[in-house]
Amino acid sequence: MAGTITSLLPGVLTLFLLLTATLARAKLDFKLFQDGFIITVDGTEILHQTAEEPVVWMGYGHTNFTETQGNFKVEDEVLVKVEVTTFIEATISDFVYIILRSYEDTDLRIGLYVTEDLGDDGCSTVNVLVNVTHTINTYNRMWVRFYADEEERVWGGGEQYTYFNLRGHDFPIWTSEQGVGRDNGTIASLANLDGGAGGDYYTTYWPQASFLSSRRYSLLIPDRKYLVLNFTEATRHEVYVHDHKFSASMVWCPSLLKTVQTVTTRLGAQPQLPDWIMTGAALGVQRGTEEMLFYYDLAVAAGANVSALWIQDWSGTTETLFGHRVFWDWRWNQTYYPDLDVAIQNLMEEGVRVMAYINPHLVEEGDMFREAAASGYLMTDAEGEVYKQDFGGFLAGTVDLFNPEANNWYRDEIIKNMVELGLGGWMADFGEYTALDMYSATGELYDPETRHNLLPEEWARCTREVLESSGQLGEVVPFMRSGGLGSSGYQVLAWAGDQNVDWSLSDGLATTIVAALSLAVSGMGVTHFDIGGYTTLPPLLTRSKELFLRSCEYAAFTPVMRTHEGNIPEANHQFYSDEDTLTLFARLSQIHATLLPYTRYLLQELSTTGTPVQRPLFLDFEEDIGSWDIEYQYLYGPDLLVAPVIHKGQETQTVYLPGGESGWVYLWEEEEEVLLGPANITVPVSLGYPAVYYREDSLWRPLFQEIVQEFGLAKKARWVSS
């Protein structure tokens, strides 16, 4: 049916009048009731307006953002908020167009426009657009409510660390430092004394205004302004945005897996990673060429499979009040790393790459800062002076990545200084610090809030162009922490940022699982983490041997296994701290290397079908509702189920085996008992033997059997150090 429905008396419909219009479309449907309307997709409600519960609210407000070293204090004040409750008319064709008004501001007219594209892949896209068609007032705030039911789960929001299921909480979409502690405990309280560095459950480098719903759709909001995904209420998902217009697209597919694959592919699935990075451990080492090679030899002598040597201080270091810091001038420091070029070539012959470090900032004492400042390539203040920020003991500027000329200059510098040196990749750090009073040569192209949230994406784009221009895509591997909706189409590998070197559920090892899973359903299918965490605050917060080894055993079942010494190496347990650690570390790196054919296959699946490498159980076992709430386990590809140890002193692990056709086999024992899910089972977890199960009917069974034979419990005696 197509046509126009107009209520005779706007907003004053009589009780017995019940207008119902039904669309002829297969999926999109519209029903009008006396005091509201319902829009459904394939019978599932998406928007539901009643007199008490409008879909749209408009408002006016003011916000102060205060930046301190990447931490933002957001003081948001709403001065006006009006509800848009009154239905005026609807046009229905192959779309739904509704005009609404507010009794609180009778001049205000809102258009709600819902369209649908039926894809030929079984998925359809529903676009929801809300705009102001008439007003005499100024609005800069909006609330849009989507229908939700009580049982519904939602996941995603970019990279979240504390909650995998987002229901019950609200999540500001504002890139920032992730925070130290991220709760109200001792560590966070101490960090808060330092410019509010403690963080909170929602603070993240990679927030993203998108989510996956258990009602089998994914919703994506392209607006990059400050926005809050509000899941605190049982009957709605509310989006609050600093804007006067709103749009979202909803991807509807027959299954959750298909929905995630479709979203990942549309945003731009990550390309295949090279084999070299999947063959053992990347060692986080530093302090010059000699020391780098010393630790490499040590690891190799212990039998480790080494994929890379990652040297964050390749450009030299600088002394600050806070200790040793990397010198942010992104060129090889030949005094600190003599003959690095020769070492790189020699290592490459052994299949080992050297990785380095960079970020979008330049230290004011560096040559690159001077060159960039002279060319107008750095972001400025309102007066046009270079904007310098304090990064903890030194000042640095930010490359104006919005300016194509500056972006190209930086790309070419990276190619010249890093790719041509023979580096195999680098940590492409930061991206979250853009303050609202920082300006770009592109002027008004973006408003300050958008500029803030968009910088990580421009940084990812610049990094991707380095790979493409130099022909190194699929060979050189940069990894990033900051992100936004567009990042997954540029990034080749994410990493979870700076965890505390502890077991806390708010900022410790466990958060990296939630981070991987929430990114997986947000379009970024490959990530990894700093083994044993990063942030160290002695004597309160130092890395134990147990945490280091538990992190290693979990990292062995991820595509990229990389260590980090942490910000205070001497306070942390390291792979080289003792003989025993070295032996156990070597074994886990061998397991990682043995899995190479499987890992390669998982990356292939990601790049061709958009299937995330590490994923929540429910993507493969959607019918098993019990799997929907599993937060600290993951599927590593279709055939391995991993339940990492995340608590100190843990001797057993309870694992949820999802229910399906195939049974599960415990990885570390030769007699192959087949267990059927759904079931919770408890297994012992001695160090080096995390709870891992493989699918009985897996095509990779011979590879898993090889692991049992080489590294299983029966061979335990081999790995006990002297």
Binding site for ligand NAG (CB under 6 A): 62, 64, 75, 77, 111, 113, 129, 131, 133, 170, 183-184, 200-201, 228, 230, 232-233, 238, 240, 279, 305, 316-317, 327, 333, 335-336, 593, 596, 626, 656, 678-680
138: how many CB neighbours lie within 10 A of its CB?
8
The H or E element spanning position 300 is helix 289-301
CB 565, min distance to ligand NAG, A: 16
CB 436, min distance to ligand NAG, A: 12
CB-based closest residue to ligand NAG: 316
Q: Which of 135, 124, 103, 111 is nearest to 25 (CA)?
A: 124
Tell me how far apart the alpha carbons of residues 246 and 112 are, in angstroms, rounded to a whole number.
Answer: 9
The DSSP line for 443-478 is: GGGS-HHHHHHHHHHHHHHHHHHHHHHTT-BTTBEE
CB 66, min distance to ligand NAG, A: 9
Tell me how far apart the alpha carbons of residues 164 and 178 are, in angstroms, rounded to a whole number.
Answer: 16
The DSSP line for 99-162 is: EEE-SSSTT-EEEEEEEEEE-TTS-EEEEEEEEEEE-SS---EEEEEEE--TT--EEEEES-SS
Comparison of 270 and 279: residue with beta carbon closer to ligand NAG = 279
Comparison of 520 and 655: residue with beta carbon closer to ligand NAG = 655
| Torsional sign, CA 628, 632, 636, 641 | negative
Residue type, 599: T
Comparison of 354 and 462: residue with beta carbon closer to ligand NAG = 354
Of the residues 243, 329, 413, 432, only one is catalytic, namely 432
Q: Where are the beta strands (DSSP E) in 504-585?
A: 527-528, 530-531, 561-563
CB 16, min distance to ligand NAG, A: 33
Residue type, 454: L
Comparison of 228 and 520: residue with beta carbon closer to ligand NAG = 228
Are the C-beta atoms of residues 216 and 256 closer than 8 Å to each other?
yes
CB 247, min distance to ligand NAG, A: 9
720: how many CB neighbours lie within 10 A of its CB?
9
Of the residues 116, 429, 530, 553, only one is catalytic, namely 429
Comparison of 10 and 626: residue with beta carbon closer to ligand NAG = 626
Tell me how far apart the alpha carbons of residues 309 and 92 are, in angstroms, rounded to a whole number.
Answer: 61
Comparison of 131 and 542: residue with beta carbon closer to ligand NAG = 131
Tokens of 656: 């949820």
CB 100, min distance to ligand NAG, A: 12
The H or E element spanning position 674 is strand 674-675
Are the C-beta atoms of residues 336 and 317 closer than 8 Å to each other?
yes
Q: Is 498 a catalytic residue?
A: yes
Comparison of 328 and 534: residue with beta carbon closer to ligand NAG = 328
Point out the residues that are catalytic.
429, 432, 498
